Chains A and B, each alone.
Chain A
Amino acid sequence: MTVGAPSRKRAILGLAGRRLAFAVPVLVIVSAAMFALGAASPFDPIYQYYGVGVFTASAADIARVRAQLGLDDSVVVQFGRWAGDLLTGDLGDSRSLRQPVAEVITERLPWTLLLVSVGLGIAVLVALVLGVVTAWRQGGWLDRIVTALAQAIEGIPAFVLALGAIALFALGLGWLPVAGLTDAGGDVSVGQVARHLVLPATVLGVSQSPWLLLHVRQSLLGALAEDHVTGARARGLTEPAVVLRHALPTALLPFVTLLGARVPELVTGAVLVEVVFSWPGVAAAIVQAALAVDYPLLATLTLFATAAVLLGSLLADVAAALLDPRVATDG
Chain B
Amino acid sequence: MAETILAPRVDPVEPGSWRTAARRRAGTPRGRGAAGRARFRLVGGIGLLVALVLAAVLGPWLGGLDDRLIDYTAVRLAPSLAHPFGTDDAGRDLLLRSLAGLRVSLLVAVLCAGISTVLGAVVGALSGAVGGWTDRLLMRLVDTVNAVPHLLLGIVIVALYRGSLWAVVASIALTHWTTVARIVRAEVLSLRQRPFIDAAISGGASRRRVLRRHLLPAVVPQAAMSAVLLLPHAVWHETALSFLGLGLPPHLASLGNILGDGRDAVLLGAWWIVVFPSALLVAATLAVSGIASVWRDRLVPRRRSELAL
Interface residues of A (CB under 8 A from B): 22, 25-26, 29-30, 34, 37-38, 41-43, 147, 151-152, 155-157, 159-160, 163-164, 166-167, 171, 178, 214, 218, 222, 263-265, 267-268, 271-272, 275-276, 286-287, 289-291, 293, 295, 298-299, 301-302, 305-306, 309-310
Contact = CB atoms under 8 A, between A and B. Distances in A.
A30 B149 contact: no
A290 B155 contact: yes
Contact of A147 (B151, B267, B309): B309
B281 A164 contact: no
B289 interface: yes
Interface in B240-269: 240, 243-246, 259, 262-263, 266-267, 269
A113 to B, nearest CB: 16
Size bin of chain B's contact surface: 35 or more
Given A155-B282, A268-B149, A291-B245, A163 B289 contact: no
B271 interface: yes
Closest 6 CB pairs of A and B: A41-B160, A290-B159, A264-B149, A268-B151, A160-B278, A267-B149
A275 B151 contact: no
B207 to A, nearest CB: 29
A178 B263 CA distance: 12
B155 A286 contact: yes
Q: Most chain-B Cβ atoms within 10 A of its Cβ — which of A157, A214, A218? A: A157
A268 B140 CA distance: 23
A42 B152 contact: no
A272 B240 contact: yes
A302 B153 contact: yes
Interface in B252-309: 259, 262-263, 266-267, 269, 271, 274, 278, 281-282, 285-286, 289, 305-309
Q: Most chain-B Cβ atoms within 10 A of its Cβ — which of A163, A268, A302, A305? A: A163
Contacts of A222: 305
A310 B143 CA distance: 10
Nearest to A34: B156
Contacts of A305: 148-149, 152
B128 interface: no
A331 B282 CA distance: 39
Contacts, number: 132
Contacts of B148: 30, 264, 302, 305-306, 309
Contact of B147 (A26, A34, A147): A26
Contacts of A157: 236, 239-240, 243, 278, 281
Contacts of A37: 156-157, 160
A156 B305 CA distance: 24
Given A159-B240, A305-B148, A287 B246 contact: yes
17 contacts: A25-B140, A37-B160, A41-B160, A155-B232, A160-B259, A163-B259, A163-B278, A171-B266, A214-B309, A267-B152, A272-B243, A286-B152, A289-B159, A293-B159, A295-B160, A298-B155, A298-B159
A34 B161 CA distance: 13
Contact of A271 (B151, B162, B269, B286): B151
Nearest to B159: A290
A320 B109 CA distance: 37
A164 B275 CA distance: 8
Contacts of B289: 155
B244 A302 contact: no
Contact of B274 (A43, A152, A164, A265): A164
Contacts of B282: 152, 155-156, 160
Given A290-B158, A291-B159, 13 more contacts: A22-B143, A37-B156, A151-B286, A160-B274, A166-B267, A218-B306, A218-B307, A265-B149, A271-B155, A298-B155, A298-B159, A306-B147, A306-B148
B192 interface: no
Interface string B157-182: 11111100000000000000000000
A41 B236 CA distance: 25
Contact of A163 (B150, B239, B274, B307): B274
A178 B267 CA distance: 9
Contacts of A289: 159
Nearest to B262: A163
Contacts of B153: 302
A171 B152 contact: no
B94 to A, nearest CB: 15
Contacts of B274: 160, 163-164, 167
A5 B239 CA distance: 51
A227 to B, nearest CB: 13
A42 B161 contact: yes
